[in-house]
Amino acid sequence: MKNRHGNLFLSALVMFMICLMCFGTAWGESPNGEFTVRGVETELVDKVYRLDARIDYQLSDRMLDALHKGIPLTIAMDIEVWRKRQYLWNEQLAAVTQRYQLSYHALTRQYQIKNLNTGIQNGFPTLHAALETLGTVDDFPMLDQQLLRAGETYEARLRARLDIEALPVPIRLFAYIYAGWRVSSEWHTWSLRL
């Protein structure tokens, strides 16, 4: 009896792996998704560093398919500030993640972007308009100047990525395995001036 249950478990596991490979090709491998940080500027205004950035978002075919089937995509913008040290590892001073949810509503044929940090939501008639707005960061309060000390060297960096953890569980499993879902820009690094 024990052996029979073991064989059933092994058969079920093999079937699961076959399904995973089949659906993985359909859901995972699409190399044309790409996030690119085009430019970043910071300006010190009233003792707060304010960030302007331009990010290009190109969704993969699988991401678009999921979006149009009603699955929202969460895009995260990670910002970090580091104090550079000569003889020790650099010290992280601040880390901020700004998260946005991109969704499509078939009934209204509108794309929605919701800022998950503030709750503000806006609608767009086209995906292009939504991604253009998402990729335009203006006057974002990034860091208080009081955290920095004169005479030290500081570096900031930014990246944009698809937040895999926010996907529904069945798709999240594919996202962990297949690279077509792991879309992230390179870190864009720049110096902060006091």
For the chain, 194 residues long, give each residue's pLDDT as a single digit of tens.
Answer: 555 555 555 554 444 444 444 344 444 344 568 999 999 999 999 999 999 999 999 998 889 999 999 999 999 999 999 999 888 889 999 999 999 999 999 999 999 999 999 999 999 999 999 999 999 999 999 999 999 998 899 999 999 999 999 999 888 888 888 777 889 999 999 999 87
Q: Which of 158, 145, 139, 190 is nearest to 35 (CA)?
A: 158
pLDDT reported for residue 4: 59
Contact residues for 57 (Cβ-Cβ < 8 A; gap 6+): 35, 75, 131, 134, 135, 160
Q: Tell me how far apart the alpha carbons of residues 189 and 176 are, in angstroms, rounded to a whole number.
A: 27
Beta bridge partners of 157: 80, 189
Q: What spatial distance separates the first Cα and last Cα of the chain, rounded to whole Å?
A: 74
Q: What is the pLDDT of residue 22?
A: 39
- Pair 76, 99: CB distance under 8 Å: yes
Which three-class secondary structure string do you get for 150-171?
Answer: CCCEEEEEEEEEECHHHCCHHH
What three-state secondary structure class fits 47?
Answer: coil
Contact 106, 70 (CB under 8 A): yes
Q: Which of 50, 175, 64 is nearest to 130 (CA)?
A: 64
Q: 3-class DSSP state for residue 88?
A: coil
Can you give the C-alpha Rg of the chain in angstroms? 21
pLDDT at residue 137, rounded to an integer: 96
